[in-house]
Amino acid sequence: MGTKDWKTALVTGGAGGLGFELARQCAARGMDVVLVGRNEERLVEAAAQLEFEHNIKAHVVVCDLAKVGAAAKVSARVREVGLVVDVLVNNAGFGYDARFVESDMARQRELILTNDLALVELVGEFAPDMAARKCGGILNVASVAGFMPGPDMATYYASKAFVQSFSQAIHVELRRAGVHVSTLCPGPVRTAFWENADAAHTPISRIALDAPFVASEGFNALCRNKALCVPGALAKTIVFATRLAPRGFVARTAAALQRPRKKK
Ligand SMILES: NC(=O)c1ccc[n+]([C@@H]2O[C@H](COP(=O)([O-])OP(=O)(O)OC[C@H]3O[C@@H](n4cnc5c(N)ncnc54)[C@H](OP(=O)(O)O)[C@@H]3O)[C@@H](O)[C@H]2O)c1
Protein backbone atom coordinates (compact mmCIF):
# COMPACT_ATOMS: atom_id res chain seq x y z
CA MET A 1 0.00 0.00 0.00
CA GLY A 2 1.30 3.47 -0.87
CA THR A 3 0.29 7.10 -0.99
CA LYS A 4 -1.90 6.39 -4.06
CA ASP A 5 -4.15 4.38 -1.71
CA TRP A 6 -4.85 7.44 0.44
CA LYS A 7 -8.50 8.23 -0.22
CA THR A 8 -9.70 10.33 2.73
CA ALA A 9 -7.94 13.02 4.77
CA LEU A 10 -9.07 14.55 8.05
CA VAL A 11 -7.73 18.05 8.68
CA THR A 12 -8.18 19.84 11.99
CA GLY A 13 -8.54 23.60 11.75
CA GLY A 14 -9.33 23.04 8.08
CA ALA A 15 -11.67 25.99 7.59
CA GLY A 16 -8.96 28.59 7.05
CA GLY A 17 -5.28 29.53 7.13
CA LEU A 18 -2.72 26.77 6.79
CA GLY A 19 -5.30 24.04 7.53
CA PHE A 20 -7.42 25.02 4.54
CA GLU A 21 -4.35 24.97 2.28
CA LEU A 22 -3.36 21.54 3.62
CA ALA A 23 -6.89 20.27 2.95
CA ARG A 24 -6.60 21.76 -0.53
CA GLN A 25 -3.37 19.81 -1.12
CA CYS A 26 -5.23 16.59 -0.24
CA ALA A 27 -8.27 17.49 -2.37
CA ALA A 28 -6.02 18.38 -5.32
CA ARG A 29 -4.76 14.77 -5.22
CA GLY A 30 -8.33 13.50 -5.39
CA MET A 31 -8.82 12.74 -1.70
CA ASP A 32 -12.13 13.33 0.04
CA VAL A 33 -11.67 15.52 3.10
CA VAL A 34 -13.12 15.92 6.57
CA LEU A 35 -12.68 19.43 7.94
CA VAL A 36 -12.75 19.81 11.73
CA GLY A 37 -13.13 23.07 13.65
CA ARG A 38 -15.41 25.13 15.89
CA ASN A 39 -16.95 27.50 13.39
CA GLU A 40 -19.64 25.65 11.41
CA GLU A 41 -20.29 28.43 8.93
CA ARG A 42 -16.61 28.72 7.95
CA LEU A 43 -16.26 24.93 7.75
CA VAL A 44 -19.26 24.57 5.44
CA GLU A 45 -17.99 27.40 3.24
CA ALA A 46 -14.51 25.85 3.01
CA ALA A 47 -15.96 22.40 2.26
CA ALA A 48 -18.11 23.82 -0.54
CA GLN A 49 -15.08 25.57 -2.04
CA LEU A 50 -13.00 22.37 -2.06
CA GLU A 51 -15.85 20.33 -3.56
CA PHE A 52 -16.26 22.96 -6.28
CA GLU A 53 -12.52 23.24 -7.03
CA HIS A 54 -11.59 19.55 -6.96
CA ASN A 55 -14.75 17.50 -7.52
CA ILE A 56 -14.28 15.60 -4.25
CA LYS A 57 -16.56 15.07 -1.24
CA ALA A 58 -15.89 17.34 1.74
CA HIS A 59 -17.44 16.62 5.15
CA VAL A 60 -17.42 18.84 8.20
CA VAL A 61 -17.22 17.97 11.89
CA VAL A 62 -17.89 20.79 14.33
CA CYS A 63 -15.80 20.21 17.44
CA ASP A 64 -13.92 22.23 20.01
CA LEU A 65 -10.69 20.28 20.38
CA ALA A 66 -9.97 21.89 23.75
CA LYS A 67 -12.90 20.02 25.29
CA VAL A 68 -12.57 16.70 27.12
CA GLY A 69 -13.33 13.75 24.81
CA ALA A 70 -13.03 15.84 21.63
CA ALA A 71 -10.88 13.33 19.71
CA ALA A 72 -13.24 10.45 20.52
CA LYS A 73 -16.16 12.59 19.37
CA VAL A 74 -14.45 13.35 16.05
CA SER A 75 -13.61 9.71 15.48
CA ALA A 76 -17.15 8.55 16.39
CA ARG A 77 -18.62 11.06 13.91
CA VAL A 78 -16.25 9.86 11.16
CA ARG A 79 -17.19 6.21 11.74
CA GLU A 80 -20.90 7.12 11.86
CA VAL A 81 -20.72 8.40 8.29
CA GLY A 82 -18.73 5.32 7.24
CA LEU A 83 -15.42 7.00 6.49
CA VAL A 84 -11.94 5.52 6.89
CA VAL A 85 -9.27 8.13 7.54
CA ASP A 86 -6.07 7.48 5.56
CA VAL A 87 -4.43 10.82 6.26
CA LEU A 88 -4.66 12.72 9.54
CA VAL A 89 -3.52 16.34 9.47
CA ASN A 90 -3.21 17.70 13.01
CA ASN A 91 -3.12 21.38 12.17
CA ALA A 92 -5.47 23.09 14.67
CA GLY A 93 -3.61 25.24 17.13
CA PHE A 94 -3.14 28.75 18.38
CA GLY A 95 -0.62 30.99 20.10
CA TYR A 96 -0.94 33.26 23.10
CA ASP A 97 1.37 36.25 23.37
CA ALA A 98 1.56 37.28 27.04
CA ARG A 99 3.98 37.49 29.94
CA PHE A 100 3.34 34.20 31.73
CA VAL A 101 2.79 35.68 35.21
CA GLU A 102 0.24 38.16 33.84
CA SER A 103 -1.49 35.65 31.60
CA ASP A 104 -4.91 34.01 31.73
CA MET A 105 -4.44 30.44 32.98
CA ALA A 106 -7.67 29.26 31.36
CA ARG A 107 -6.29 30.30 27.96
CA GLN A 108 -2.92 28.65 28.68
CA ARG A 109 -4.77 25.44 29.52
CA GLU A 110 -6.89 25.64 26.37
CA LEU A 111 -3.69 26.08 24.34
CA ILE A 112 -2.08 22.93 25.74
CA LEU A 113 -5.32 20.94 25.32
CA THR A 114 -5.68 22.03 21.68
CA ASN A 115 -2.06 22.07 20.52
CA ASP A 116 -0.94 18.91 22.36
CA LEU A 117 -3.54 16.71 24.03
CA ALA A 118 -6.06 16.74 21.17
CA LEU A 119 -3.24 16.00 18.70
CA VAL A 120 -2.05 13.00 20.72
CA GLU A 121 -5.57 11.70 21.21
CA LEU A 122 -6.42 12.04 17.51
CA VAL A 123 -3.31 10.02 16.66
CA GLY A 124 -4.54 7.52 19.26
CA GLU A 125 -7.94 7.34 17.54
CA PHE A 126 -6.72 6.87 13.97
CA ALA A 127 -3.15 5.47 13.96
CA PRO A 128 -3.97 1.94 15.22
CA ASP A 129 -6.30 1.40 12.28
CA MET A 130 -3.73 2.83 9.83
CA ALA A 131 -1.08 0.49 11.26
CA ALA A 132 -3.42 -2.51 10.99
CA ARG A 133 -4.16 -1.63 7.34
CA LYS A 134 -0.47 -0.80 6.70
CA CYS A 135 -1.63 2.37 5.00
CA GLY A 136 -1.80 5.95 6.10
CA GLY A 137 -0.11 9.22 6.87
CA ILE A 138 -0.04 11.64 9.79
CA LEU A 139 1.09 15.22 9.34
CA ASN A 140 1.50 17.07 12.62
CA VAL A 141 1.89 20.83 12.44
CA ALA A 142 4.52 22.05 14.89
CA SER A 143 6.57 25.21 14.29
CA VAL A 144 10.09 26.59 14.18
CA ALA A 145 9.06 27.80 17.65
CA GLY A 146 9.44 24.18 18.80
CA PHE A 147 13.24 24.44 18.43
CA MET A 148 13.66 27.14 21.09
CA PRO A 149 12.26 28.56 24.32
CA GLY A 150 9.91 31.49 23.61
CA PRO A 151 9.73 34.15 26.32
CA ASP A 152 6.36 36.03 26.22
CA MET A 153 4.82 33.06 24.39
CA ALA A 154 6.24 30.35 26.63
CA THR A 155 3.50 27.72 26.49
CA TYR A 156 3.07 28.06 22.72
CA TYR A 157 6.76 27.42 22.01
CA ALA A 158 6.78 24.56 24.55
CA SER A 159 3.60 23.08 23.04
CA LYS A 160 5.31 22.92 19.63
CA ALA A 161 8.47 21.32 21.13
CA PHE A 162 6.13 18.63 22.47
CA VAL A 163 4.57 18.11 19.02
CA GLN A 164 8.02 17.75 17.45
CA SER A 165 9.31 15.26 19.98
CA PHE A 166 6.12 13.19 19.99
CA SER A 167 5.88 13.15 16.19
CA GLN A 168 9.50 12.24 15.58
CA ALA A 169 9.15 9.34 18.02
CA ILE A 170 6.03 7.94 16.37
CA HIS A 171 7.64 8.46 12.96
CA VAL A 172 10.12 5.75 14.01
CA GLU A 173 7.47 3.56 15.66
CA LEU A 174 5.09 3.59 12.70
CA ARG A 175 7.68 3.31 9.94
CA ARG A 176 7.66 -0.50 10.27
CA ALA A 177 3.87 -0.49 9.83
CA GLY A 178 4.12 1.51 6.61
CA VAL A 179 2.44 4.57 8.12
CA HIS A 180 4.06 7.90 7.24
CA VAL A 181 4.51 10.48 10.01
CA SER A 182 5.89 13.94 9.26
CA THR A 183 6.24 17.07 11.35
CA LEU A 184 5.73 20.38 9.59
CA CYS A 185 7.72 23.15 11.28
CA PRO A 186 6.97 26.45 9.57
CA GLY A 187 8.45 29.81 10.44
CA PRO A 188 5.94 32.68 10.31
CA VAL A 189 3.07 32.11 7.85
CA ARG A 190 0.63 34.77 6.57
CA THR A 191 -2.63 33.72 8.32
CA ALA A 192 -4.98 34.94 11.05
CA PHE A 193 -2.67 33.23 13.58
CA TRP A 194 -0.89 36.45 14.52
CA GLU A 195 -4.07 38.44 15.24
CA ASN A 196 -5.53 35.48 17.17
CA ALA A 197 -2.34 35.27 19.27
CA ASP A 198 -2.41 39.05 20.02
CA ALA A 199 1.00 39.10 18.27
CA ALA A 200 0.36 40.96 15.00
CA HIS A 201 2.56 43.82 16.30
CA THR A 202 5.71 41.68 16.71
CA PRO A 203 8.70 41.93 14.31
CA ILE A 204 8.60 38.17 13.65
CA SER A 205 5.07 38.35 12.25
CA ARG A 206 6.28 40.58 9.42
CA ILE A 207 8.53 38.01 7.74
CA ALA A 208 5.77 35.53 6.97
CA LEU A 209 5.58 33.05 4.06
CA ASP A 210 2.42 32.30 2.06
CA ALA A 211 0.26 29.44 3.36
CA PRO A 212 -0.06 27.61 -0.01
CA PHE A 213 3.74 27.27 -0.29
CA VAL A 214 4.07 25.99 3.30
CA ALA A 215 1.20 23.54 2.81
CA SER A 216 2.66 22.16 -0.39
CA GLU A 217 6.07 21.64 1.26
CA GLY A 218 4.36 19.89 4.21
CA PHE A 219 2.23 17.61 2.09
CA ASN A 220 5.17 16.62 -0.15
CA ALA A 221 7.21 15.80 2.96
CA LEU A 222 4.40 13.53 4.16
CA CYS A 223 4.26 11.73 0.81
CA ARG A 224 8.03 11.08 1.06
CA ASN A 225 7.74 10.16 4.79
CA LYS A 226 10.26 12.85 5.70
CA ALA A 227 10.37 13.08 9.51
CA LEU A 228 10.83 16.84 9.64
CA CYS A 229 9.88 19.57 7.17
CA VAL A 230 11.07 23.17 7.64
CA PRO A 231 9.83 25.21 4.66
CA GLY A 232 11.82 28.18 3.36
CA ALA A 233 15.45 29.30 3.56
CA LEU A 234 14.90 31.66 6.49
CA ALA A 235 13.23 29.05 8.70
CA LYS A 236 15.97 26.53 7.81
CA THR A 237 18.63 29.09 8.79
CA ILE A 238 16.86 29.79 12.11
CA VAL A 239 16.72 26.08 12.92
CA PHE A 240 20.38 25.61 12.00
CA ALA A 241 21.36 28.58 14.19
CA THR A 242 19.36 27.27 17.18
CA ARG A 243 21.40 24.06 17.00
CA LEU A 244 24.73 25.91 17.18
CA ALA A 245 24.03 28.85 19.50
CA PRO A 246 23.88 28.60 23.32
CA ARG A 247 20.30 28.00 24.55
CA GLY A 248 20.26 31.22 26.66
CA PHE A 249 21.23 33.33 23.64
CA VAL A 250 18.55 31.62 21.54
CA ALA A 251 15.89 32.37 24.21
CA ARG A 252 16.93 36.05 24.42
CA THR A 253 16.84 36.39 20.62
CA ALA A 254 13.39 34.80 20.50
CA ALA A 255 12.26 37.27 23.19
CA ALA A 256 13.52 40.22 21.12
CA LEU A 257 11.63 39.00 18.04
CA GLN A 258 8.52 38.52 20.13
CA ARG A 259 8.54 42.06 21.58
CA PRO A 260 6.75 44.97 19.89
CA ARG A 261 8.98 47.37 17.95
CA LYS A 262 9.85 50.63 19.76
CA LYS A 263 7.89 53.58 18.32
CA LYS A 264 10.16 56.18 16.63
N1 LIG B 1 0.81 31.28 11.07
C2 LIG B 1 2.04 31.02 11.50
O3 LIG B 1 2.92 31.88 11.47
C4 LIG B 1 2.39 29.64 12.01
C5 LIG B 1 3.75 29.29 12.13
C6 LIG B 1 4.09 28.04 12.59
C7 LIG B 1 3.10 27.14 12.92
N8 LIG B 1 1.78 27.50 12.81
C9 LIG B 1 0.77 26.52 13.19
O10 LIG B 1 -0.06 26.27 12.09
C11 LIG B 1 -1.33 25.81 12.54
C12 LIG B 1 -2.43 26.55 11.80
O13 LIG B 1 -2.38 27.91 12.16
P14 LIG B 1 -2.73 29.08 11.14
O15 LIG B 1 -1.51 29.84 10.92
O16 LIG B 1 -3.46 28.58 9.97
O17 LIG B 1 -3.67 30.00 12.06
P18 LIG B 1 -5.26 30.24 12.02
O19 LIG B 1 -5.64 30.80 10.71
O20 LIG B 1 -5.54 31.01 13.27
O21 LIG B 1 -5.86 28.77 12.11
C22 LIG B 1 -5.94 28.03 13.30
C23 LIG B 1 -6.95 26.94 13.11
O24 LIG B 1 -7.02 26.15 14.31
C25 LIG B 1 -8.37 25.90 14.62
N26 LIG B 1 -8.55 25.83 16.07
C27 LIG B 1 -8.02 26.62 17.01
N28 LIG B 1 -8.48 26.27 18.23
C29 LIG B 1 -9.31 25.21 18.03
C30 LIG B 1 -10.09 24.40 18.90
N31 LIG B 1 -10.13 24.61 20.22
N32 LIG B 1 -10.83 23.42 18.35
C33 LIG B 1 -10.83 23.20 17.01
N34 LIG B 1 -10.10 23.92 16.15
C35 LIG B 1 -9.35 24.93 16.66
C36 LIG B 1 -9.16 27.09 14.05
O37 LIG B 1 -10.44 26.63 13.64
P38 LIG B 1 -11.83 27.22 14.24
O39 LIG B 1 -11.62 28.68 14.49
O40 LIG B 1 -12.85 26.85 13.21
O41 LIG B 1 -12.05 26.44 15.49
C42 LIG B 1 -8.34 27.50 12.84
O43 LIG B 1 -8.84 26.91 11.67
C44 LIG B 1 -1.34 26.00 14.06
O45 LIG B 1 -1.07 24.77 14.70
C46 LIG B 1 -0.18 26.96 14.29
O47 LIG B 1 0.37 26.83 15.56
C48 LIG B 1 1.41 28.73 12.34
Q: Mean pLDDT, to the nearest integer, of 14-29?
A: 98
Active site residue 236: no
Cα distance between residue 118 and residue 90, in whole Å: 9
Which residue has the least CA distance to atom 26 on ligand 1? Answer: 92
Q: Which domains does the chain have, with CATH numbers?
A: 3-258 (3.40.50.720)
Write out pLDDT tens, residues 149-169: 999 999 999 999 999 999 999
Residue whose CA lies nearest to ligand 1 atom number 42: 13
What residue type is 258 in one-letter code? Q
Share of the chain above pLDDT 70, in %: 98
- Higher local confidence (pLDDT), 38 or 199: 38
> How far is ligand 1, taken at its centre, from the CA of residue 264, in Å?
33
| Cα of 114 from ligand 1 centre, angstroms | 10
* Average pLDDT over all residues of the chain: 94
Residues above pLDDT 90, as percent of the chain: 83
Cβ atoms of residues 13 and 19 within 8 Å: yes
DSSP assignment of 77-122: HHHHTT---SEEEE-------S-GGGS-HHHHHHHHIIIIIHHHHH
Active site residue 156: yes
Q: How many Å lie between the centroid of ligand 1 and the Cα of residue 90?
A: 10
Ligand 1 atom nearest to CA at 39: 40
Active-site annotation holder among 73, 96, 157, 160: 160
